[in-house]
Every structure is written in C-alpha cells, then in structure tokens.
Amino acid sequence: MKAMVLEKQNDIMESPLQREDLAMPVPGEREIRIKVHCCALCRTDLHVIEGDLPSKKRRLIPGHQVVGHVEALGPHVHRFPLGARVGIAWLRRTCGVCPSCEMGRENLCDSPEFTGYHAHGGFAEYACVHEDYAYAIPAVFDDAEAAPLLCAGIIGFRALKRAELPPGGRLGIFGFGSSAHIVAQLALYRGAEFLVMTRDVGHQKLARQLGARWVGGLQDAFPEKVDSAIIFAPSGALVPRALEVLKKGGTLALAGIHMSDIPALNYERHLFYEKSVHSVTANTRDDGVELLKVAAAIPLRPQVHLYPLEEANRALQDLKADRIQGTGCLQIADQP
C-alpha cells in the first residue's frame, strides 16, 4: 500500500514525510481494516511531525481523522460488517481500568493510545483500528465533510462544553482554523452569537461568511464582553487577552493539545469575579458519538480543501502558514 511515512521528527518545511510502499496491515483481534477514502489534516499532526509532542513511534504514518469503508475483519469482530463506512479518530485505545476510565472520563486515561501518534494513522491507503474505537459515519456527509468532524469537530464540541456557553450566550473565539469554523456553526445552532479574533485575513473572511457578530485581528480590541471563550490558536499569549474580555463568572476553554507558555496573569484583571479556565484533553468516545449525531441534525458543513496523498507535506505546510480556509484533507480513494 502507498503511505506517507515520518522517519524522524523535523520542521514540516523540510518535507519530512516520505512516500513509501508498505505491506498491507493485518487486522488483529477485534480489529477492522479500513480502505481509506480520505484523512483530514489537524494541527496536532504538525505537533507530532515537528516534535512539539515527544516521539512515540519511529517510522510513523501520521493522520487521525480517517474516513473509509471496512475492507477486512480480524477475529471476533461483531460491530461493523464488511463495506460499512466508518471513521477513525485521535483516541485509539484506553485501559478501561484506571480511576478515570472507571468514572467515564476515558479522555484522562492513565495509559491512552492515539492514532497517528502511538500507532499508524490515515496518511495511507489502509489503516486498522479496534472496532470499539471506530465511528459509524452518518449518511448525510460525504467522506471529505465527515473527516474533519473526527477531531476538529469532536475536540471543538468538547471545548464548547468545557466553555460552558449559556443558552443564547456570546462566545469569543481566538484563532479560526478547522476546529473553530465547526464550533462557530455549533454555537449558531444553539442560538448563540460568536466573535472572532484571528490574524489571518482569509480566516477573518470565513468567520464573517459564517455569521460572526464581530471579527478582528490581533491588534484590535473586542467590542464587548463575552460569556465564554475558546482559544484554538496554540499561543499562550492569548490567554490573558481572552480572560480580559470574559464577563463576570465567564469560562475560558483552552482547546489545543500544545500551547506556548502563558505569560503572568494579574489576579484583578484576569481571574477575579469567579472567572474559570478549563483545559481540554482529548475526548471520550461518547463525545464523538454525540457530536456526529448533532452535526448530522444541523447538518453541519465543514469547508474542505482537498490534496492528493503524495502532497501531504505541501498540505501541512499550507496548514502551518494559515493558507487553508476551513480544513485541509488528503484524498486517497474515492467513496465506493
């Protein structure tokens, strides 16, 4: 099978992913093998490739927003039949026995594994996953629309819950990439308003098209206070700015898996009046199931820009340079 392989972590501008022909993966106990139709790009892919996250596997196939159809079954598979269209997301395996797992908080598992990080992901023609960690894809979405929902959508959905946005409230969004443009649609569906601060002119345009109440750059001041805020950009410098625009009792969610250092905070300006800061760590499978159900009901429509598999380096370079409006996605095979 064709795959884009990371031999060693390096700056994406050095094009570290190499096209290789590899043996077909063999599904293990209760695993399914998926013929990959497409795999959406995520900023976490950059963190894995460039070394912001420590290396967990040499000669890694990245990618964790995978859509395809079940092409082979391992022993004792019962959940999905051959031909079923399914998705693979970031959360790949949890222990099921640690205190977090037993409390239903598997996103905080003591020994989790993640797709495209601990194990091979979707920058390839085929990928395997345990059937319990695969998702049925609603028919209302085509492959490219569904793929961004499997991380950008799920994490954005969890971030929105962690931000505790009240019904009909006002949400501040910092950074407007793949996840943020999905959250904006979720917020509108709930009857909320959203305001956006992002440095990229193209992202500002997309935010306006999606119905933002206000859009500004890093040099601009928010015109009004917000009930909740989410930071999607991996910049710790945005934390005090977001806290300053929160109303009393407001909540800030930090949606990224990696963030630069947060500068010193002033208690009176940033934290007093019972403001809260919540980080977001991975997701539970229930988050994924709930998000796909809500997204199908809206129906949510991610904006997707397609690239061939062999251009994964260029696609990720475009992601790093903020040249993609919405979500980049590798097109690997056509939907049957």
Domain residues of the chain, as ranges? 2-152+282-331, 154-279
- Indicate if the pLDDT at residue 334 is higher than 90: no
Q: Give the per-residue pLDDT at 96.
A: 97
126-130 and 31-40 strand pairing: antiparallel
pLDDT in tens, 22-49: 999 999 999 999 999 999 999 999 999 9
**CA dist 316 → 92, 164, 306 (Å):** 22, 32, 12
pLDDT at residue 187 tops 80:
yes
Instruction: Say if 2-152+282-331 and 154-279 have the same CATH topology.
Output: no
| The predicted structure's pLDDT at residue 335 | 63
Segment 223-249 mean pLDDT: 97
The CATH homologous superfamily of the domain defined by 154-279: NAD(P)-binding Rossmann-like Domain (3.40.50.720)
pTM: 0.94
Peptide bond into 81 cis (omega under 30): no
pLDDT class of 333 with cuts at 50, 70, 90: confident
The neighbouring-strand residues paired with 150 are: none
Does 302 have pLDDT greater than 90? yes
Cα 201–chain centre separation:
22
The verdict on domain 2-152+282-331 having CATH code 3.90.180.10 is yes
**Residue 117, pLDDT above cutoff 70:** yes
39 strand-pairing partners: 66, 330
For 211-280, give the DSSP string.
T-SEEE-TTSPPSS-EEEEEE-SS-TTHHHHHHHTEEEEEEEEE--S--PPPPP--IIIIITTT-EEEE-
> 284-295: per-residue pLDDT in tens?
999 999 999 999
Residue 336: its pLDDT value, please?
Answer: 65
Amino acid at 187: A
